[in-house]
Amino acid sequence: MSYIASPAPSLTLTALPSIPHVRPGDDVAALLLDALGRAGLALRDGDVVAVAQKIVSKAEGRQVRLADVTPTARAEELAAQVGKDARLIELILRESTEVSRLRPGVIIVRHRLGFTSANAGIDRSNVQLAGGEEEAVLLLPRDPDASAAALRDALLAATGAAVGVVITDSHGRPFRLGTVGVAIGVAGIPALWDRRGEADLYGYRLQHTDVGLADEIAAAAGLLMGQAAEGLPAVLIRGLRLPPAEGRATDLVRPPELDLYR
């Protein structure tokens, strides 16, 4: 798959303002379109909309009351080892296929979606049930690629603009400190940019260069979204010139047989 380079590269990122707190059943596409209107913006073909996983999960009803969770013996055992709430550990086990690493305060798992992350991506920040009295956590969407595709279809139907959608989440990295935005759902753009066979400035043919394009978009959007009380869960990226492609975030997951650090 080739990438169409711009002769004069220029890229703009705009955080969409005043998106309200999202509740189960909310129409995320409608919320985005309202925010675009308030900002005086209209979608164009080739735009990419990066959306924080949190508002997608909330709209899909992925909040869980910890009071409703009964931990298994395995969850109790692991909770004692890492010093975490056994109910949270139970949810982590339900959302994952294997435990990768443990130490006090940390549990790293292979998520059922394929990637490896802390706590199976389960989040406690900026999560509150109606009433606010009960402790709750937020799970990732069941199928973020399908969520991205549905959101893209809704935006296309409403505006006629063929845009890309990237659902982002913040992940840590095993050999570097700090979290960074990554793509967990992708639609309408290539997730990977295969540059193998292209020539560099000196004519050398690239041999192993696959660019995690959707992850780069997610990381760039994260500069505006923030991690705390910014309240900016959606970013419009304009100026990328990408071929139309139905990439998926699962394209970015390294197969277990190629994971040298397992």
44-85 pLDDT, tens digit per residue, is: 999 999 999 999 999 999 999 999 999 999 999 999 999 999
- Which helix (H) or strand (E) is 138 found in, with range? strand 136-138
Share of the chain above pLDDT 70, in %: 86
Q: Which amino acid is at 18?
A: S
Summarize the confidence of residues 193-219 as an average pLDDT: 78
CATH code that applies to domain 63-138: 3.90.1660.10
Extents of the domains making up the chain? 12-62+140-255, 63-138
**pLDDT reading at 125 higher than 70:** no
Quick check: 49 and 235 in contact, CB under 8 A?
yes
**pLDDT reading at 154 higher than 60:** yes
**pLDDT reading at 107 higher than 90:** yes
Quick check: 53 and 144 in contact, CB under 8 A?
yes
Write the pLDDT tens digit of every residue in 16-51. 998 999 999 999 999 999 999 999 999 999 999 999
Angle (CA) 82-88-91 rounded to 5° is 120
Domain 12-62+140-255 has what CATH class? alpha beta
Summarize the confidence of residues 130-144 as an average pLDDT: 82
187: left (phi over 0), alpha (psi -120 to 50) or beta: beta
d(CA 189, CA 214): 8
Q: How far is CA 163 from the centre of its chain?
A: 17
Whether the predicted model's global pTM rises above the 0.95 cut: no
Quick check: 243 and 2 in contact, CB under 8 A?
yes
Phi and psi angles of residue 98, each rounded to the nearest 5 degrees, phi first = -165, 155
Q: Calculate Rg over the CA atoms of the chain.
A: 19
pLDDT band at 163 (very low <50, low <70, confident <90, very high): very high
| Nearest alpha-carbon partner for 116 in 152, 141, 92 | 92
d(CA 36, CA 16): 6
pLDDT band at 5 (very low <50, low <70, confident <90, very high): very low
Summarize the confidence of residues 153-176 as an average pLDDT: 93
d(CA 206, CA 64): 47
Summarize the confidence of residues 99-115 as an average pLDDT: 91
| Nearest alpha-carbon partner for 184 in 170, 195, 172, 203 | 170
- Which helix (H) or strand (E) is 152 found in, with range? helix 144-159
pLDDT band at 7 (very low <50, low <70, confident <90, very high): very low
Q: What is the pLDDT of residue 124?
A: 76
Residue with tokens 């753009």: 189
Q: What is the pLDDT of residue 156?
A: 97
